[in-house]
Every structure is written in structure tokens, then in C-alpha cells.
Amino acid sequence: MRRGFTGLIIPVLILLLWELFGRLGDLPVNAVSRPSDIAAAWFNSLIDGSLLLATWQTFETALLGLTIAATVGVLIGVALGLMPLLEQVTGPTIEALRPIPAIAFMPLALMMFGFGVALEASIVAYACVWPILIVTIGAVRAIEPRLLEVATTLEMPLPARLWKIVLPAAFARINVGLRIAAAIALVVAVTVEIVLNPRGLGYHLILAEQSLHVALMYAQLFWLCVIGYLLNMVLRNIGGPSRAWGTAQ
């Protein structure tokens, strides 16, 4: 209980100061709204269903892209982690492709898929696969070599080796990578919607901005933070809280 309250101190303080500045008239009203106005705008968009629909649309594509990236990233990452030679051969190509921003492929993806889920999911997948890949390779390489030797001594078949030894041992680190990727997935999905795709939260954000509903725009930004926070909480609990925070406490 106490832990929950401590966490709220800073946000509540910020909100109070913000509202105060707003009421004193110090804020540039056409660019920054008061928290009370933002709350009202948020409430209205919740009631009329538009917020939830947009949230679902964004979530849908982010999740799809993330799943594709996780599958591809973990599979290839495990392979490259277990076979250093393969990693050295493919490494330079991966390092050359990785820094190209996923959003740079938007025109291409638009031509291939047109507006819709596939456009966004493909960009999200491209953006998320690299961190997952890197973290997985690192995680597999960090596996205690004796564990792998045990697997060889027992002559375990490959699937069992992966499932029983490699993945569990690498899981904690892979999970950190997945958490980073999940945040990236949400951000990239919203970015694609801001720039291009007429669906989801990013699209509604731009609509609010262009129709000069500043309070609504900020309400949607806050909402983005809220769902991102909830998403991370869910992911953290999947990984196991004790693992994430170690034994320092």
C-alpha cells in the first residue's frame, strides 16, 4: 500500500503545478491545456467510444508486429547465438540493415499493402526484430557453457535442447529485450499512424491536432502513456518480478 502511494507523489505534484499555472493564465492556451480540460476531453472520447476503438486498432497492429518480430527474432537469435560462425557471416549484413529506421520503409510498405493493418504491422515487425535479435544472441551466448555441455553429453535432440535448456536459461535476458521491443512496438505503431495510416490512436491524435482540439490531443497522449504503462506491467509480471530486480534488495 505504501509503495503505491510513494509512486504517486511526483505525478500528483506535477499535475497540481500544471493546473495552477493554467488557472493563473500562464500557459499558452492554444498549445497547452489545463489538466482539468484534458480530463474532460478524455472522458468525452471514452464515452463516445472513439478512444477505445482507436486503442484497439493500435494495439491490434502493434501486437501483430511484435509477435512476428518476436518469433523471427528469437528463432534467428537462438540460431546465431548457438552458432558463432553463422553470426560472424551474417553479422555485417544485420548491422547494416539494423540502423535503417523502420519508418523509412513506409512508402514501400504503403505500395505493397495499402492502408490498413498489414502496413503498420510490417513496419512494427521490422523495427522490433532487431533489439529482440541482439538481446537473444547475447542471452544465448551468456548461457553457462556447462549447461550446454550437459545437453550434448545427454545427447538431447535439438528441440528438447532448445526448449529445456537454452530458452529457460536465456529467458530473463530475452524478456528484457521483449519489454524494450514492446515499448518500441507501441511507439512505432503510433508513429506510422501519425505519419500515414488512417486508423488508431496516432491518427486520432493528428485529427485532434489539426481540428485544433488541443485538450483532446493531450488527453490522447496521456492515454497512450496509460496503456503503455499497463502493457509494461503485464510484461513485467510475465517475466517474474524477482528476476527483473535481482537480489540487490
The interface with other proteins within residues 164-193 (CB under 8 A) comprises 176, 179-180, 183, 186-188, 190-191
Q: Does residue 26 touch other proteins according to CB under 8 A? A: no
Question: What are the start-end ranges of the E strands in the chain?
Answer: none
Minimal distance in Å, beta carbon 106 to other proteins?
9
- Tell me whether residue 92 or residue 157 sits nearer to other proteins (CB atom): 92
Binding mask 39-68 for other proteins (x = CB under 8 A): ------------------------------
- Tell me whether residue 106 or residue 162 sits nearer to other proteins (CB atom): 106
Q: Does residue 128 touch other proteins according to CB under 8 A? A: no
Residues 6+ apart with CB under 8 A from 190: 58, 200, 201, 202, 205, 224
Tell me how far apart the alpha carbons of residues 130 and 139 are, in angstroms, rounded to a whole number: 14
Tell me how far apart the alpha carbons of residues 42 and 75 are, in angstroms, rounded to a whole number: 41
Interface positions, 73-92, toward other proteins (CB under 8 A): 85, 88-92
The residue whose grid cell reads 519489454 is 179
Region of residue 182 (left: phi > 0; alpha: psi -120 to 50; beta: else): alpha
Listed ranges 46-54, 65-73, 127-135, 158-166: which one lies at the site for other proteins (CB under 8 A): 127-135
Q: Does residue 108 touch other proteins according to CB under 8 A? A: yes
Q: Which of 32, 40, 63, 167 binds other proteins (CB under 8 A)?
A: 32
Region of residue 34 (left: phi > 0; alpha: psi -120 to 50; beta: else): beta
Tell me how far apart the alpha carbons of residues 60 and 214 are, in angstroms, rounded to a whole number: 26
Q: Does residue 114 touch other proteins according to CB under 8 A? A: yes
The residue whose grid cell reads 505534484 is 13
Q: Does residue 93 touch other proteins according to CB under 8 A? A: yes
- Tell me whether residue 156 or residue 183 sits nearer to other proteins (CB atom): 183
